Structure 1
Amino acid sequence: MDITSSEAQQMLFSTYALLAANSILIYDHMATLPEEIAFIWRRPKALSAMLFLLNRYLALLCNISNLVLRFVPLSDEVLLLHAYTELPGSQLLSLRCPEYELYRQLTLVFQAAVVCLIMTIRTYALYGGSRRLLTWMAIIMIALAIAVSVGSLGHFTGVLLSGAGCFETYTAATAVRLGVAWVAEMVYELLIFILIVYRICKTRGLLRLSLVTRRNIIDIILHDGAMYFGAMTLVNIPNILTFYSGSDAIRGSLAALTSCLSVTLISRLMLNLHQSIDTGICSIPARDEGPSLAVFTTRIDVQSAISSHHW
């Protein structure tokens, strides 16, 4: 397909964004590997550790495979041959673009689902294991997931770049449906951040909140939560705008970057918590006693400590 110089530049921008996303993910994986070995692999594999590994390695495998498939060479002659023949081989090759796009969309949805699950469990633990809160969060997450599923699995138009694989483009109607997924994720992240701030304000008071000091677990959770929400807002808003106001060639070009940044920040958040306590995101708040790091513990640990004290 013939493309203009402007479209070629936009496609090049999308390619650079994809390469940047994978570079960030792989670099962070290598940079934090010593912490991962120390705080995840050398400790008991609790639910928090399993979720960390799922989030980290699912994203790594999916993004690397997406990057490889993006540059699988397809021959223009084979696709032209398909217009005049009914050869099974040519038909199979002509379906690579739709198959690649469907796989890419599914991997983005799965990565976002794992991230949302981790944030949900963290908030559930922060509220002392409130089943009522968990029920409402599950209802909201399922409702948003339905909206995401309806919007994300739409049709697309594939553009074949000679010798460089398949480049996906979207019509305006399809881009609107795909953008719903990222809007839903941003809404859920805002809900999580509000719940975290409300809980911490209720626990220690508004005047004692600090985004600078990291004296204890509460400070770590507030600091990391604010950093996560702020960073994701800065990258997700431009991503959403590409779907709703970008040109055909640039729509969705920041999706992979947004997803990789989300996975990277959640991994950092979990490592920070595991550095302070084995249970990580599954820790349940007990009390706030100033600079001690032991303000969070599991409900089982608290009961064991009480039993040991009586004995």
Structure 2
Amino acid sequence: MSFLTDLQHPDTDLLVGLASALRVFKCVEFAVLSVLLYDHALTFHLEVERIWRKPLSGVSILFLLNRYIQPIRTIIAIITYHVPHWNADTCLHFAKFVGYSRIITTAICGFLVILRVYALYYRSNIVLIVLSVVCAAYLIVSPISISQLGTLQQSPFEEISVGCRLTVPTKWFVSNCVGALVFDGGIFLLTLWRTRDYIRAADRPPLFDLLIRDGTLYYLVIFLANLVSIFLYFFVPNNLESSAMLLGVVLTSVMVSRIVLNLRAGAPPTRSYMEDSPTYTNKRSAIIFRAIESKIMGNMEEDVDSEESRESDPSASAKQRDSFIRSQP
């Protein structure tokens, strides 16, 4: 206990502050894990029914990666935060693991929502290119933020030091969050705009069902979560900035999983309102993929395209007929 008698007042304040920040961060990690496990418990039967019992596809693989990377990362983080004898190398490697695992889940979520909006806009190449460029720019900034991790903020007393704290320069964090806000905001507005067309249709389903089916409400939650993360970053006490980032990451992962599960349903929730109408019958058609789309994405797009969005394009039947005629010998 000799190190306790040598403590000076400034060192004591530093130690208390760092210990408090570390405790808060551990609590946030536990809260994140609780949210993920609770969502798994609520939707696991849907996962079994709509993912495991159906043929494996590209979207299924991406869904499973997004579904399980995040809780595995959180469990590893909780375990490592309770391992004693941290050092500079350990902290740096751990921070890189957390950062790069986040980039992986972000890329998966971004790809899935881009495919969904791409399908909503009748496979518009302009929408695909714009969203892909924005998402790519955001993903490029993320590794730069990880490479700019600041100095270790450990307790100077090895005997009671468990865990570590790292900081990211404000400009890189803000750039990262702004990129996420621009991308998520664009996804939300594009989805909301497409929902407007369905609302104007004569045989329209209930508004709430439309918002759920197209993912509008889910994208709104994702956008607000990232917006709150930015506010938390600037208003939380020092040493707690990185904990503010977890909210947006976790809710994005959860919401994207919900979107995929909703779209992989055997029957869309709004089908019963439209099935008996002449408009519904006349617009019924299959998706015809262009050759380049099939080579690049296979049937991945079909997995994120709801039945109504396939049938809402007035020219879909003509496209299918012409494509079929051209394919005949």
TM-score, with length taken from structure 1: 0.75
The 1-side partners of 2:193 and 2:18 are apart by: 46
Q: Quickly say closer, same or farther: Cα 1:175–1:19, change in 2 above 3 A.
A: farther
Asked whether the 8 Å contact 1:148–1:181 carries over to 2, the reply is yes
Match in the other structure for 1:225: 216
Q: Secondary structure at the match of 2:153?
A: strand
Match in the other structure for 1:68: 79
Q: Secondary structure at the match of 1:98?
A: helix
Would you say 1:123 and 2:117 are equivalent positions? yes
Deviations 1:17-76 (A, max 9, x none): 11101111122123321111111100112232222112112222222222222222116x
Q: Quickly say closer, same or farther: Cα 1:229–1:206, change in 2 above 3 A.
A: farther
Asked whether the 8 Å contact 1:36–1:271 carries over to 2, the reply is yes
Asked whether the 8 Å contact 2:81–2:162 carries over to 1, the reply is yes
Would you say 1:238 and 2:262 are equivalent positions? no
Q: Quickly say closer, same or farther: Cα 1:17–1:197, change in 2 above 3 A.
A: same
Q: Which amino acid aligns with 2:304?
A: I
Match in the other structure for 1:59: 70
The 2-side partners of 1:94 and 1:133 are apart by: 44
The 2-side partners of 1:123 and 1:193 are apart by: 9
Higher relative contact order (CA 8 A, sep 6+): 1
How high is the sequence identity, in percent, across the aligned residues? 21
Written as runs of structure 1 = structure 2, the 5 A alignment for 1:85-104 is: 93-104=87-98
Match in the other structure for 2:129: 135
Match in the other structure for 1:169: 166
Asked whether the 8 Å contact 1:160–1:167 carries over to 2, the reply is yes
The 2-side partners of 1:94 and 1:144 are apart by: 28
1:211 positional shift: 4.5
Q: Quickly say closer, same or farther: Cα 1:210–1:185, change in 2 above 3 A.
A: farther
Query: How many residues get paired?
Result: 270
Q: Secondary structure at the match of 1:178?
A: helix
Asked whether the 8 Å contact 1:148–1:184 carries over to 2, the reply is no
Q: Quickly say closer, same or farther: Cα 1:235–1:4, change in 2 above 3 A.
A: farther
> Which is greater in Rg?
2
The 2-side partners of 1:134 and 1:280 are apart by: 16
Q: Quickly say closer, same or farther: Cα 1:4–1:94, change in 2 above 3 A.
A: closer
Q: Quickly say closer, same or farther: Cα 1:115–1:102, change in 2 above 3 A.
A: same
Structure 1 residue runs of 5 or longer lacking an equivalent are: 76-92, 289-294
Q: Which moved more, 1:53-62 or 1:18-27?
A: 53-62
Cα root mean square deviation, aligned: 3.1
